[in-house]
Amino acid sequence: MGQVKPAEAFREAALAALIALLLAIPLVGFRLVDGLRGLSIETRFDWVAWGVSAVFFGRLAIALSGTRRRLLPDLKSVGAALSNLPGGLSRFAGGAMLVGALLLPLVPFADRYVVEIAITVLIYVMLGWGLNIVVGLAGLLDLGYVAFYAVGAYSYALLSINFGWSFWLCLPVAGLLAAAFGVMLGFPVLRLRGDYLAIVTLGFGEMIRIILLNWKDFSGGPNGISSIPRPDFFGFPFARTAEDGQTTFHQLFGLEFSPMHRIVFLYYLILILAMLTNLFTLRMRRLPLGRAWEALREDEIACRALGINPTMIKLSAFALGAMFGGFAGAFFATRQGFISPESFSFIESAVILAIVVLGGMGSQIGVVIAAAFLILVPEFLRDFSQYRMVLFGMAMVLIMLWRPQGLVAHRSPSARLGGRA
């Protein structure tokens, strides 16, 4: 890259400063102050001036030093090396992660906080894997995935409270109900693709939330549902003292009672559920149906020419993706003990979709890395309080600049000659 002319660098910097100015005036320049005489607006143009001049001189320095274009490719080659891991090595990475996950509750620093965060990460890993079937494999852009999560959560909550069904009975029912909703969403959107599909699925997600919010007799409305039964260990509750006729978990194993037991149990439960989702997807990719999902993502017309009926393929992707969302929802309900429509807002769908896109559409291990990133980074940034989301947003922008195709863009073929599994 040749020498940059100062005039050109100056123009670039001025342009960047102008954009910063336009953004900063409404975002930083005005502030609502809750004073004695009600709300008033205060201006902070000095902040704007500082910010804009920082952008101007920063941009000027980058343009003049000419490092702008060299910086990104360097990072890119690191990413390329990451994504071109041979199949064996990426399988090794997956295995190492699984072993790490299995051992996590046993390591000394794994206190209650660590395990709780790990459970949250695993919920999102599972949701990411579920949505990966719809978005990553079948290529159907779904912005309302949280609806199925909500269906699963409310299924468990309502069935266990009203009918006393156990978690293990409710789990498949929640999955089936979510799958049924998946088909319900799938039918009207069969002909839609891309942006149009995204809009309809977005609407669907909001509809489910608003129904839950307003149908008070059924769902408790905005108050949600509380005191949802917590999970027990196959009939043995995690309690300090047993109700008459019952044996508690700690009595069963002759342990000292500890509230950690339930948390560790929940951790392994979601780990198993998430791994089931993963194994299911890996298996599906080798079967004709899973292969047809991927083919549909690539080229719908070619699919039809090969005798693949897109209707069945799309509906099955919606149904199966939704089913795992439903499982995760049931788990969420039993973990929290309380659910309300607030937990199922659009931002949840956006986060799950971001996990899939950031991970590299269709990549299973990418979902794990992205979920860990998206859940853990805001956690670590808690110390920065109100700047947390700004830093988080900046990190996302940088990653997408660095690797627009996602963290793990490598796709390993589902079959090899001779050794087909």
The token pair that represents 417 in the structure block: 């000659």
Under rule CB under 8 A, residue 193 binds other proteins: no
Distance CA 232, CA 334 (A): 10
Under rule CB under 8 A, residue 291 binds other proteins: yes
**Which residues have CB under 8 Å from 268's CB, separation 6+?**
105
Under rule CB under 8 A, residue 307 binds other proteins: yes
Q: Contacting other proteins (CB under 8 A), which of 33, 39, 81, 301?
A: 301
Quick one: 8 or 299, whose CB is closer to other proteins? 299
Under rule CB under 8 A, residue 140 binds other proteins: no
CA distances 45 to 54, 195, 278, Å, are 14, 39, 52
> Which of 97-105, 176-184, 376-384, 413-421 is the region at the interface with other proteins (rule: CB under 8 A)?
413-421
> Which of 42-50, 91-99, 175-183, 303-311 is the region at the interface with other proteins (rule: CB under 8 A)?
303-311
Which of 374, 402, 391, 329 has the alpha carbon at shortest distance from 153? 329
Distance CA 372, CA 157 (A): 27
Under rule CB under 8 A, residue 294 binds other proteins: yes
Quick one: 258 or 405, whose CB is closer to other proteins? 405
The token pair that represents 99 in the structure block: 């072993």
Instruction: Pinpoint the alpha helices (H) of 338-387.
Output: 346-359, 364-380
Compute φ and ψ for 295, nearest 5 degrees. Answer: -65, -35
Q: Contacting other proteins (CB under 8 A), which of 295, 333, 356, 370?
A: 295
Under rule CB under 8 A, residue 299 binds other proteins: yes
- Binding footprint of other proteins, residue count (CB under 8 A): 23
Compute φ and ψ for 226, nearest 5 degrees. Answer: -115, 175
Quick one: 164 or 413, whose CB is closer to other proteins? 413
> Is residue 329 a contact partner of residue 153, using CB atoms and an 8 Å limit?
yes
Distance CA 120, CA 114 (A): 10
Q: Contacting other proteins (CB under 8 A), which of 302, 389, 390, 397?
A: 302
Residues 231-290 contacting other proteins, CB under 8 A: 288
For other proteins, what does the binding mask look like between residues 308 and 327, x meaning CB under 8 A?
xxx-----------------
Quick one: 11 or 286, whose CB is closer to other proteins? 286
Q: Contacting other proteins (CB under 8 A), which of 298, 383, 385, 419?
A: 298
Q: How far is the CB of 282 from other proteins (least distance, A)?
A: 15
Instruction: Pinpoint the alpha helices (H) of 287-363.
Output: 288-298, 300-305, 310-336, 346-359
Under rule CB under 8 A, residue 413 binds other proteins: yes
Residues 195-234 contacting other proteins, CB under 8 A: none
Quick one: 229 or 360, whose CB is closer to other proteins? 360
Under rule CB under 8 A, residue 191 binds other proteins: no
CA distances 315 to 60, 145, 196, 319, Å, are 53, 14, 17, 6
Under rule CB under 8 A, residue 337 binds other proteins: no
For other proteins, what does the binding mask look like between residues 356 and 395, x meaning CB under 8 A?
----------------------------------------
How would you label 178-216 residue by residue, b for 16+ Cβ within 10 Å and e otherwise? Answer: bbebbeebbeebeebeeeebbebbbebbbebbeebbeee
Residues in contact with other proteins by CB under 8 A are 288, 291-292, 294-295, 298-299, 301-310, 411, 413-417
